[in-house]
Structure 1
């Protein structure tokens, strides 16, 4: 009887696992090309650099296979662009193609979180953590557009997954080291975090005698060290200690402006206040990161994360006192190091993205603990709780693909891809294409036929040197040109155009919120 009951329980768990995974995948894939409509300027620059590397093996500043992109002048992590390469090679330059790496990592993260929590805490909390992450507004929104830094949470989770697996089979420590090393190329802001995570996790396992120094742990340390060498050299180059390094297969560039002063112990009180404000309000003012209506975690449920954190602290204390391994400690390290980062820089939702998954896991723990206390008196409390979250999720999806899609489409300038392609099809070899005001040059470059070599030869900056460079023209594109009735081909944002283009004598081809007008 017990065997039959256990088998039935396992089958039920598998079914729930598959349902949660399918829900999570659907929420991240459905209407990927049109929601969010248009393209963000950073997303566009990452896509442009990916195409440049695929086309010519150089970035927009002429560096061959750089370990860090110069982009705006103050740089961008290269990881997301590199992951775009095979998809652009297969499917061409389209918005949904640019977003595929983030979507795939986002879906894989659901499975990784379930496995980690199952191994470190318990099976019930694991399914809750997977479910909460699958329907989480922040993670859904993050997974649906290609901002470079948003790869970091997934890669840190993959690293932790293989670290946990390494306690059973030491060979997995190599994969953990690989992903920790690769995470350095997802987001430079986590560079101070990764060494502390690895160090604290390693010291803890040695302390509770769950690990020992072997050929596998030494090899893993060496692998992580090798992967970190380019990042270390990058810091030396941009501190002016050594000259930049350029080879046909790897470049260590010197940025126009290095923003390393953003990470500092100065003003920690203000930075922590800012962090608390973002976590409590679940909003940072950036509509593409989270919304006031739903926040990052559906608002008002953060109390469960506090409960989960309490159990984590209690378990950490007990484990350190008794020197008996407890998986809570590993999740506590993720939270602690991320919280430390938030005290060193002024963050927004995506700049502190390494903290959110640990909070969601604590929320799952808090819900599990609460439900266990209430089940005796409230028979269907678990089912009711699931229904509440499902209703919230459906409400969020309705909002996301309705009101939010319309709003973000205006912000991200929906129709950009089609407008650039159409304008270039109209223009002759010597024709100028004028780009209206309020349109980032990176959005044009993401879809333009202008080659990397042509861009480098013709680009003219308006504010060089600067951390965020602006371009007046490149190739046959001239930027920030007001529409004043003159002849020519124009790409304009209709939401910023107050006068009627038709009344001004133009032929108008509209693409979403964008238009190509000409006469």
Structure 2
């Protein structure tokens, strides 16, 4: 035991780096990023459907490539994720566990390769990968293309061990490298190029025998055969092919891989030259691609200040002193760079460049190890960069990512399924990208029943739009005006169509579950702007958003609200009811972005008598309002500005009036229309 403790203490730097790397990749997987991306939902449902029913949502049994929404999705992530889905069920967290686990695996493999190259190089390589912005983000969500680099990294680890006496390393490395073609389309070009380059490096070192070479090519060819058959079938075939339980689907429309490989596209040469500039900007200038889950603006995928270290490492890898691992990474970088130039670039499409670029930067760090003060300063700067990046990632940037991942949409569908009776129709907003796939992810129907009920107008489209399946209809249409419709999932921009007097709302992020009230027994009245008369010192009364931003929703006290009234400074708005009002519940506060406000009072007057006064509150505070009204027929919503009225963006949040005497005894609990 003491020996193990001593060994861990000697390796405390490595242990600390591994612990930090695991934390950055595994903590809060289901919440950072929040929400669910359509690519995640697609591969998650198809993996679940194949695992439990043997077919995907297009009816293909154990396909070598998923058809998904019509133009294809790579299948390797789906198959590797199945153990997690089998054990934990289909959830956002379980689907992302594979990405996180492979991210940790990449740390271990990268460290092992570094340690084999040189003892000091081990911790340099680990440090660079642990702190990499690209790798942290790529390990936190279930985009199937993000696993491609770790597949190639595993192959390099095997190829680096190849010797004539280790008969299994070369064939295993070639097999794993060939598996990359099932991970992401750019590997169709990269894998054969890198295989040829790697074999050349190993041949020069006499690292294999002729027998090992022949067996390796045979094994790689057998692994590649199903994908080759799939590609040939889509180029020349007329329909799906079935080989035992496995299917080689033919796309109903154009293949996705054909649109991102620029030489195949219209204007290919000019677009390739423009794309090369984009690739250089992403690799060396800290550019981002506008996708919040790929990079944070200002940080990029790779720290710009590492460029000199990368150049230093590149020079070393091209020198006579370079070892086998350096040469393999140099060949990887060259093949990945060529593949990136001919692939319409964003950070995840050119993800093969990042690991060899990090290796070269780590080599640059390693060159400094003879100067301890310099290497400590550079390592400290790298750790500080990672700390600042992580604070941003897990802080305000997560809200940006979550919005791009439709945060609240999945939860709204879950509530609709829980609240609506079995078989009742549910109309779902079409504001998110491919909303039907999130509904499939949540409801998890038998794929055969989905196929029977799916309404797909254009099945030969590269991205099929589904108008409905089972109990779901996508797009609200005129359903809010039809009295026989009772249940909806709506985006905040659509809530104006639902009068609070007639519809109850439960909000989740930017989305909400909406239910029609029973008009015969309705005892509650939602307060809408059109019911009010009055004035305020600036702007106009705004519904469902702060003053000047109607429909934008509210951010108050660090929470998100979709319903309410936005006022300014000194205001007085009056509602008159033909029925007695017995109570009101709401919340109130100043918008979070109104930090320059010097405070406001929120007051309620029933039949001219003050029944509630908040006292002066500041921005960031959120107060509950729960007041008996004793049968009043007039209610005034009043705000009083502080010494000045600058930034006084006051908000009455989801006010609901009780019209039945039995509700006069109000609960002091928070507003049920916020989550």
TM-score, normalization by structure 2: 0.70
Compute the displacement of 1:299 (Å): 2.9
Please, which moves more after superposition, 29-38 or 386-395? 386-395
Pick aligned residue for 2:500 from 493, 500, 503: 503
Corresponding residue of 2:634: none
In the TM superposition, 1:266-281 aligns within 5 A as 266-267=268-269, 268-279=272-283, 280-281=285-286
- The size of the alignment, in residue pairs, is 498
Residue number in structure 2 paired with 1:283: 288
**Alignment pair present for 1:199 and 2:196:** yes
Aligned to 1:78: 75
| Aligned partner of 1:294 among 299, 324, 334 | 299
1:18 lines up with 2:15 in the alignment = yes
Note the C-alpha offset of 1:295: 1.3
Conserved 8 A contact 2:457-2:465? yes
Aligned residue for 2:83, secondary structure, equals helix
Task: State the alpha-carbon separation in 1 of the partners of residues 170 and 6 from structure 2.
Answer: 32
SS at match of 2:71: coil
Q: Give the C-alpha shift of residue 312 in structure 1.
A: 1.8
1-side partners of 2:77 and 2:113: how far apart?
24
The equivalent position to 1:455 in structure 2, one of 450, 455, 465, is 450
Range 330-339 or range 456-465, more displaced: 456-465
Distance 1:452 1:9, change over 3 A: same
Question: Secondary structure of 1:293's match?
Answer: coil
Secondary structure in 1 aligned to 2:228? helix
Is the alpha carbon distance of 1:504 and 1:412 closer, same or farther for their aligned partners in structure 2, counting shifts above 3 Å? farther
- Normalised to the residue count of structure 1, the TM-score between the two structures is 0.90
d(CA) in 2 for partners of 1:71 and 1:41? 11
Question: Do structure 1's residue 30 and structure 2's residue 27 form an aligned pair?
Answer: yes
Deviation at 1:502, TM superposition (A): 6.0
Partner of 2:353: 355
CA distance in 2, matches of 1:13, 1:113: 20
Distance 1:264 1:433 in 2: 42
Higher RCO (CA < 8 A, seq sep 6+)? 1
Correspondent of 1:466 among 461, 470, 474: 461
Of residues 425-434 and 84-93 in structure 1, the stretch that sits farther from structure 2 once superposed is 425-434
Equivalence for 1:393:
386
Matching of residues 322-337 of structure 1 within 5 Å? 326-337=324-335
Measure, in 2, the Cα distance between the counterparts of 1:302 and 1:128.
Answer: 15
Structure with the larger helix share: 1
**Structure 2 CA distance for aligned equivalents of residues 247 and 386 of structure 1:** 53
Deviates more, 1:89-98 or 1:10-19: 10-19
Give the match for residue 157 of structure 1: 153
SS across alignment from 1:301: helix
RMSD: 2.3
Shift of 1:458: 1.2
CA distance in structure 2 between the aligned counterparts of 1:20 and 1:504, rounded to whole angstroms: 57
CA distance in 1, matches of 2:309, 2:294: 22
Question: Is 2:426 aligned against 1:441?
Answer: no
C-alpha displacement at 1:66, in angstroms?
0.4
Counterpart CA distance in 2 for 1:408 and 1:149 is 18
1:461-490 per-position Cα deviation (integer Å, ceiling 9, x unaligned): 243311111111111111122574554211
**Is contact 2:36–2:406 with CA below 8 Å preserved after alignment?**
yes
Structure 1, unmatched stretches of 5+, are: 1-6, 320-324
| Deviation for aligned residue 1:232 | 0.5
Match of 2:396 in 1: 403
Query: Is the Cα–Cα contact under 8 Å of residues 430 and 474 in structure 2 kept in the other structure?
Result: yes
SS in 2 for 1:191: helix
Aligned partners of 1:485 and 1:505 also within 8 Å: no
- Is the Cα contact below 8 Å between 1:94 and 1:417 reproduced in 2? no
Counterpart contact for 1:502–1:508, Cα < 8 Å: no
